Amino acid sequence: MAVLVGRKIRKTYGKKTNSQEVLKGIDIEVNKGEFVGIMGPSGSGKTTLLNVLCSIDHPTEGIIEINGQNLRSMKEKALANFRREQLGFIFQDYNLLDTLTVKENILLPFSISKLPKAVAESRLKEIVELLGIKDILNKYPNEVSGGQKQRTSAARALISNPSLVFADEPTGALDSKSATALLTNLENINKEKSVTIMMVTHDSVAASFCSRVLFLKDGVIYTELYRGDKTRQQFFQQILNTQSVLGGDGYDA
């Protein structure tokens, strides 16, 4: 079952004589329970694609549907409610509030909802155990490591049981050990809870945790790889091979 469907997505910046078309008619479909990576050289349009799919930005042309809802036809208030109720976001820079504890940051999505406190606490208990951060709930962001901050960000994104989680370079600011821990957590949650995840990354190691990887080049989908029954190491090597064909030295950090 398709959670996300995008058809003929185009994104152009600027006007007429001084315009740049970044996305050039992309078709994309993401099914429930997939863990999809988006890769591509610098300037290929991968972050732009993520931004228009999650409604942070608006496409110039095309149709984007999540759970059958056409995002382009929604008014701003309805779109904001949809984003809060249906989507989760994990960003490279964490986006945590320093004046709130880890627990308060995770529960932030419920601050303007009518979810019963007992339900919120139950979800909190489950998600922090899955992510291994139950021992830091009463600490503040400046008292925990980068890896713990990002797992807090992931918990906040996941606690409302979103239909789709968007992650933009979630390991970009982490050391290799913290990155592996986060990706292992996300992979396990994806498999055990059938949480659908779409992740932009420049890192072939991070991409090897995905079930499918889309490669963008010059604003179009160049190719895609499916992990299938491959081991993570085998998939990693396949990703590296594809990067070398695309021009591996153009992948940005």
Distance spanning both ends of the chain, measured CA to CA:
34
> For residue 113, what pLDDT is reported?
74
Task: List pLDDT tens digits, range 181-201.
Answer: 999 999 999 999 999 999 999
Q: Which residues contact 91 (CB under 8 A, 6 or more apart)?
A: 153, 167, 168, 169, 170
Q: What is the mean pLDDT of the chain?
A: 92
> For residue 251, what pLDDT is reported?
53
Q: Is 253 within a domain?
A: no
**Residue 124 is encoded by which pair of tokens?**
């909190």
Task: List pLDDT tens digits, range 14-24.
Answer: 887 788 999 99
Residues of the chain with pLDDT below 70 are: 248-253
> For residue 68, what pLDDT is reported?
93
Contact in structure between 173 and 97 (CB atoms under 8 Å): no
Strand (E) or helix (H) holding 114: none
> For residue 237, what pLDDT is reported?
97
Q: Is 164 within a domain?
A: yes
Q: Is 220 within a domain?
A: yes
Q: Are strands 212-217 and 220-226 parallel, antiparallel or unpaired?
A: antiparallel
> Would the CA dihedral through 126, 130, 215, 212 be positive or negative?
negative
> For residue 249, what pLDDT is reported?
47
Number of structural domains (the chain) is 1
Q: Which domain holds residue 101?
A: 2-246
The CATH number of residue 21's host domain is 3.40.50.300
Q: Is 27 within a domain?
A: yes
Amino acid in the structure at residue 240? L
What gap in Å lies between CA 239 and CA 233, rounded to an integer?
10
